[in-house]
Amino acid sequence: MIKDAFDPEIFRKEGHTLIDDIATYLAKAYEGKELPVFPAKQPEDSYHFWKNYQLKDNNQLYRDLITHSTHLHHPGYIGHQVSPAVPSSALPILIGSLLKNGSGVYEMAPTGAALERIVPEEIAKYIGYDDGASGIITSGGTLANLTALLCARQEKGLGDIWNDGNNKRMAIMVSEASHYCIDRAVRIMGLGADGVIKVPMNDRYQIEVDQLEICYQKAVANGQQIFAIVGNACSTSTGSYDDLEAIGKFAKKYNLWFHADGAHGGAAIFSAQYKHLVKGIELADSVVIDFHKMMLTAGLCTTLIFKNVVDSYKTFQVKAQYLFDDAVEEEWYNMAKRTFECTKFPNVFSVFALMQQHGGKLFEAYVDSTYNLSKAFYQILETDPDFETAHIPEANIVCFRFFDDTLDEAALNILNKKIRAQLIHKGDFYIVQTILNGQLYLRVSIMNPLTTMEHLKILIRDLKALAGSIT
C-alpha cells in the first residue's frame, strides 16, 4: 500500500490527467457560462455531500474538488478580495507542497530561505525604501499584521514585555475602517479592548487627519501609552487609502511605530497611474502586502517588510536552542527566528516565479485595469436613479445599493440583502455586502482581470430585475 502511494508512475499518469482537467476547467470558467460562480449550496448540503463521498477514481475526486468549489476564474466573481491565480503560478506551489521545504530552518529549505529574503528586498525597492529594508513571508495578512504589531511593541514598548508582561496600558491608534484582524491582534497581544483607539473617518472612509492629535491627547490624558499607529492602504470595506504622509509625520512627532496595512492596495506601488495613492508609504516602519490579493499569485502568500530589517529580529526573542546554534544571532536564513511559523509553507515559490516571468509590469497592468474599471462602473451607477453609491472608489472596490425613494432605510436594507441572496443563488455573479454607517450596501471587488464592462452592465440589469421581482 505504501509502495503504491509513493509510486512515481501513478503520480505521472494522474498528474497529466489533472493538468488537462484543470486547463479544460479554466477555459470553461473564463467563459462564465456553465459553472455557477458559487455553487450556492447550504453549508449542511456541502457537509453531507463530502461526508457521503465514495471514491471511484482519483482523477474524478480531483474534478469533484474543483467543481464543488467557488470559481474565482469566472468573470462573475467580483466578491471578496482574493484574485484568481495566474494558472502557471500554481505550478511552483505544487513543487513547494510536495518538497515541503519549510523555511523555518535553513537546512530544511536552502532555496525557500533565499527566496524569502530576495522577494521582500525586491518589493522594498518598489516601496521606495533605502537599503537595509527587507522582511519576511507569512501565511496571510492577518498573521503579518500581528507580527508587525508585536515587533512594534518590542521596539517601542516600554520595558521587556516579552518577559515581564504588559503593565503599561499600551495602545495603538487605527482608523475606524481598519480590518478586524488589527483589533484581534491587539487583543491577542493582551492589550484588551482599550488597546485599540479608533480614529474617526471622513466621508471618504479615510482616517480624519485632524482627529489624530485629538485622539492621541485624549488617550495620554487617560493614562494610556500609545506605541503604534496603523494606516490603511487601502481599507477593506471601501478601498479607501489613508493619508500615509500625514500619518507618517504624526508618528514621527510622537515616536510611534508606523505600520501601513497594504494587504489589499499596497500593490499600487507598481503602478505609475496609482502610486500617488500610497504617497508616504516609505515613511512606514513596516508594510504588509498580500500577494494573493492584488498580485495574482496562487495559494496564499504575504510579505511583511521592515524599513530597518534589523527590527524584525526583535519580534520574538525566543530561546529554542535545539533549532538554532545561537538564538540571539541575527541569522537571516533561519526564518523561524522572525516568523510565527516553524514548519513554513514555501508559498514564496509562486510569487518569485511570477516576478521572474513578468516583473512588476504584470502587477501594474492588473492594478490599472481593475482600478480603472471600478471607476467606470461607479460612473454608470452614479447616473442611474435606481442605485445609490456609498463612496467614490479609489481602488477596485465599489459599495452601492439599489435605491427606491418610497422605501425607508430598514426596508432598503432588507431589499438589498434579498437581492444579493438571490443574485448569488442564480450563479452568474458573486458579490458581497457590507455595513456602512449602519446601512447595508452591496459590495463589488473587481478582482478578476477577465471581468469587463459588459459583465458589469449585465450585473446592473440583473440587479434591477431582481429588485423588480422582490418589491
Q: Can you give the binding site for ligand PLP, defined by CB under 6 A?
A: 81, 140-142, 145, 179, 181, 232, 236, 261, 263-264, 290, 302
Task: Evaluate whether 141 touches 290 at the Cβ level (below 8 Å).
Answer: yes
Task: Please state the closest distance from residue 254 (CB atom) to ligand PLP, in A.
Answer: 23
- Rounded to 5 degrees, what are φ and ψ at 389? -95, 155
Q: Which is nearer to ligand PLP, 83 or 236 (CB)?
A: 236
| Minimum gap (Å) between residue 436 Cβ and ligand PLP | 16
Residues linked to residue 77 through DSSP beta bridges, in sequence order:
430
Compute CA distances 59 → 15, 27, 62, 440, whole Å.
Answer: 9, 18, 5, 43
User: Among residues 25 and 340, whose Cβ is nearest to ligand PLP?
Assistant: 340
Of all residues in this chain, which one has the CB nearest to ligand PLP in the complex?
Answer: 141
Q: Which three cell numbers stand for residue 419?
A: 437581492
Rg from Cα positions in the chain: 24
- Closest separation in Å from C-beta 90 to ligand PLP: 18
State in angstroms the smallest separation of the CB of 403 from ligand PLP.
27
Q: What's the min distance (Å) between Cβ of 299 and ligand PLP?
A: 11
Q: How far is the CB of 348 from ligand PLP (least distance, A)?
A: 15
User: In the complex, what is the shortest distance from the CB of residue 232 to ligand PLP, in angstroms, rounded to a whole number?
Assistant: 6
Cβ of residue 239: shortest distance to ligand PLP, in angstroms?
A: 9
When the beta carbons of 145 and 154 are compared against ligand PLP, the nearer one is 145
Which of 161, 177 has the CB closer to ligand PLP?
177
Residue 67's nearest CA partner among 78, 88, 53 is 53
C-alpha distances in Å from residue 121, one per residue of 36, 304, 340, 343, 414: 40, 11, 20, 22, 48
Do the Cβ atoms of 48 and 41 come closer than 8 Å?
no
Q: Which is nearer to ligand PLP, 161 or 244 (CB)?
A: 244
- Cβ atoms of residues 318 and 327 within 8 Å: yes
Nearer to ligand PLP, 313 or 345 (CB): 345
Our CB check for ligand PLP shows the closer of 32 and 239 to be 239
Q: Which is nearer to ligand PLP, 264 or 344 (CB)?
A: 264
CB-based contacts of 401, cutoff 8 Å, min separation 6: 387, 388, 390, 412, 416, 439, 440, 441, 442
- Report the nearest approach of ligand PLP to the CB of residue 160 (Å): 29
Question: Considering beta carbons, is residue 92 or 239 the nearer one to ligand PLP?
Answer: 239
